[in-house]
Structure formats: structure tokens, C-alpha cells
Amino acid sequence: MSSPTLRRLWLTLAMLDLFLCYVLWLRICRFLGYAVLCDRYLEDTALDFRRNFPHDRTESWWLWWALVRATPTPDAAFLLLIPVDESLRRSAAKNEPFPDTPETLAWRLRSYEELAATGMWRRLDGRAPREEVQRQIQTTLGLCD
């Protein structure tokens, strides 16, 4: 997106979409008593924006500020980390149409490791069997017998 106007419009629409998803829909689901598990959350989006639109500084926009403040705080947060080579293998296995480059995956992994170091997320081994990851999440949320 070489046009600054088009890029700014796209980023604004992306943030408005997140408002609909996280601020409205997520709250409705929680109000109705559903347990909500989000595969991605604001931190992922912030990383994507930083990586793909570094000159736009979206985290300083008033719309981003409002989104962060209006989005519910999760009851628990997890980071499922996997090495770059495993991520590449999984992307190839599922024929990912727009796979990240090894450089982007390495940058993303470093960024997630920095997030994990803050203590706000529980770090899980994304290479562990699915059942083990599920058990760890359920245990953390108090859903196991």
C-alpha cells in the first residue's frame, strides 16, 4: 500500500473491525455466559501493524488508544510459542496462501518472547500435543475436574 491515504483508510477500517469484534461481539458473548477463547488479540495486531506499517505508528492513534481501553481484559492469556522452522513446516503442510518469511517469523518469535517475559501471559510450548496444550489451558481456567 504505497498510498498513505489508502493505507490510513485501511488501518482505520481494520481498527473499526476490531471494535466490532472485541468491544461489541466479545462483550455480548461474555454477557450471554459463553466462554470466549481468542486465537489472536490486541498484542498480535499491534505486532502486525508495527511490522507491516512501521512509519504509521498506529499505536499512537486516538482510535488505537480507544480500542485498547474499550477491549475487555482477558481472564487468562497464553502464548503458544514454536520455533521458526516448525512454523514454516506447518505453513507448508496446510498450504498457507500468504506465509510469513523466515525473517518475519523470527522477528515475531522474538517479539512474543519479549511479551512472555512481562509475566502477563502464560507461555506454552506450541510443539506439545494438542491434548496437552488443551489440558494446560483448561487447568489454568479452572475447567478441569
Position 50 scores a pLDDT of 93
pLDDT for 17 beyond 70: yes
Which residues in 1-145 belong to E strands, given as ranges?
78-81, 122-125
- How many angstroms separate the CA atoms of 137 and 47, rounded? 23
Which grid cell is 136?
Answer: 494446560
Which grid cell is 135?
Answer: 489440558
Residue 61 sits at φ, ψ, to 5 deg, of: -75, 145
DSSP at 98: S
pLDDT of 84-130, one tens digit each? Answer: 999 999 999 999 998 889 999 999 999 999 988 988 888 999 999 99
Supply the pTM of this predicted model: 0.81
The number of C-alpha atoms within 13 Å of 50 and in the hemisphere containing its C-beta is 12
